[in-house]
Amino acid sequence: MLAMENSEDEVEADETEWKQDLKDSPFVVSGSLNLLKTTTPAHRVILHFDLDCFYAQVEMLRNPALRDVPLGIQQKYIIVTCNYVARQQGVAKLMSVTDAKDKCPQLVLVKGEDLTHYREMSYQVTDLLLSFCPLVERLGFDENYVDITEMIARRLARTPQANLSFKGHVYNTASADADAKASSHPELALGSHVAAELREAIHSRLGLTGCAGIAANKLLAKLVSGTFKPNQQTTLLPESVDDIMGALSGLRKIPGVGHQTAKRLQALGLVSVQDLQLFPPTDLVREFGAPAATRLKNLSLGVDDSPVTPTGAPQSLSDEDSFKKMSSAKEVMEKIEQLLSSLIERMRKDGRQPHTFRLTIRKYSATNKWHSRESRQCPIPNHVGQKISSASSDDAVVQLVSVAMKLFSKMVDTHAAFHLTLINVCFSNLQTRGPSASGRGSITSFFVHGSSPKTHRRLLIGWQRTGCR
Ligand code: DCP
Ligand code: MG
Ligand code: MG
């Protein structure tokens, strides 16, 4: 059923087989099973970029003396990343500081809890890619997808086929054999040249190196991009899809299969990617419903027709902090004030006026770690909203702290004992105030300054889906 050695057509043929199977399933009653690849071009060219040891690179740019020493970026007791000098000495991402120091006593540590510089650089990279192509989608801080299908079609029209070659590596293909394949895959061959140009632009303009993957869809581009690291790129040919999927060490390695999904798959007895490929679609539908079953089956086969969705201006701005225990109203108020101060500063730089405020808390729960967030929201009065986006932001902090504490009291009885492990403050319903505040041309204008280097924090930005720019 899953033989895919020879061509993309075979992949499609195989899908049809199991799609039919899903459609015949008694669980697909609504006819909601999406047929694949109906709207996407036959030969998409998708690039995936992932910067090398990102936080460490930013620190090395800020302080070039760090370039040649083993460098680890520390958040709490963890090395969230380290440069490649440190990796050569056995340090790995997400190692404890103790283990990392054991492996490499000379390791230089830089605190990485203040994300300001990483965030700024992250948006500059996205902006740079956007200046070449409108279809850019951010994925985390150091990754971007770019759909260059149209650019390639234009280039192809003016490129003599005889001159085609690949830049960089071709997955599972010796370099001596790669160029012979270029004429069979002209889009991907040209895509590899565009990827090299974009990597060069990122390097020459921003000083950053990174890896790129070139493939026919987002899933495969992401999977192939890290094949050779650092500062290299790899193209995946359709005939190697089976190889790259088969080489994954488990289901969790498939982008899009998270912890919970993997657990449910494991409960069905599925551990390897091949297990999922071969699992009867009807049984998968029974467990996940038709849409998710289809998606999972597709992913296991390396099929992904999800579009590169341009990342626009954020729809909301929020900030949060997590901690072991917070149990007094005074601490809560101080934390909210601290979070709001930096959030209001970010909001002011954004230029839009927020109309909704939301407070989220997480109560300690030994049993239900994943679903213990609670939130309340309310409109922001116009006069307060105006202060947020003007110079009188101190007033805004005071007024919003009081709003936040009212929301807080709706979730927590402060006269009884409580135990919080997280507080999140969020502005949404962001509206442009007028011609002077609008029209900021780049994503970089959503840089967020001024966050304080406290305990582990995740900055959350809800991205608005906009059309191509
Ligand atoms: N990061 C983090 N916490 C994690 C994972 C990552 O803070 N659990 C941060 C630090 C990384 C950045 O995100 O620098 C990007 O993550 P990557 O997984 O892409 O790792 P790097 O870019 O650091 O290294 P690589 O060269 O392997 O891509
Ligand atoms: Mg990454
Ligand atoms: Mg990276």
DSSP strand pairing (143-147 vs 108-111): unpaired
Give CA–CA dist 57/401, Å, rounded.
37
User: Could you identify the atom of ligand 1 that is nearest to the CA of residue 142?
Assistant: 15
Annotated active-site residue 320? The verdict is: no
Over range 68-82, report the average pLDDT: 97
User: In 3D, which of 16, 141, 6, 2 has the Cα closest to residue 73?
Assistant: 141
Rounded Cα distance between 127 and 149, Å, is 19
**Residue nearest ligand 1's atom 1 by CA:** 80
118 lines ligand 1 (CB under 6 A): no
0.75 exceeded by the pTM? no
**Rounded CA separation 188/168 (Å):** 12
CA nearest to 144, candidates 2, 309, 352, 373: 309
Q: How far apart are CA 432 and CA 350, in angstroms?
A: 10
Residue 322: which pLDDT band, with cuts at 50, 70 and 90? confident
Q: Which atom of ligand 1 is nearest to the CA of 51?
A: 22
Which tens digit of pLDDT belongs to each residue from 382-423? 999 999 877 777 889 999 999 999 999 999 999 999 999 999
In angstroms, rounded to a whole number, what is the distance separating the alpha carbons of residues 61 and 409? 45
Q: Which of 49, 55, 81 to mutate to test the pocket of ligand 1 (most atoms within 8 A of CB)?
A: 81
Whether 54 lines ligand 1, by a CB cut-off of 6 Å, is yes
pLDDT tens digits, one per residue of 413-457: 999 999 999 999 999 999 987 544 433 335 555 443 333 333 333
Q: How many CB atoms lie within 10 A of CB 212?
A: 29
**Which is higher by pLDDT, 26 or 119?**
119
How far is ligand 3, taken at its centre, from the CA of residue 88, in Å?
A: 16
Token duo for residue 226:
């890290």
Q: How far is the CA of 223 from the centre of ligand 3 (A)?
A: 13
Q: With 70 as the cut, is the pLDDT of residue 36 above it? A: no
Ligand with an atom nearest the CA of residue 122: 1
238 has a pLDDT exceeding 90: yes
CB-count exposure of residue 436 (10 Å: 0-12, 13-18, 19+): exposed
More confident residue, 30 or 289: 289
Q: Which residues surround ligand 2, an ion (CB under 5 A)?
A: 50, 142-143
Query: How does residue 319 score in pLDDT terms, banded at 50, 70 and 90?
Result: confident
In terms of Cβ atoms closer than 10 Å to its own Cβ (0-12, 13-18, 19+), residue 399 is middle
Torsion of CA 21, 26, 32, 37, to 10 degrees: 0
Tens digit of each residue's pLDDT (9 = 90 or more) over 47-65: 999 999 999 999 999 999 9
Task: Supply the residue whose CA is at minimum distance from atom 21 of ligand 1.
Answer: 53
Q: Where are the beta strands (DSSP E) in 281-419?
A: 311-326, 353-363, 373-379
Nearest ligand, measured from the Cα of 78: 1
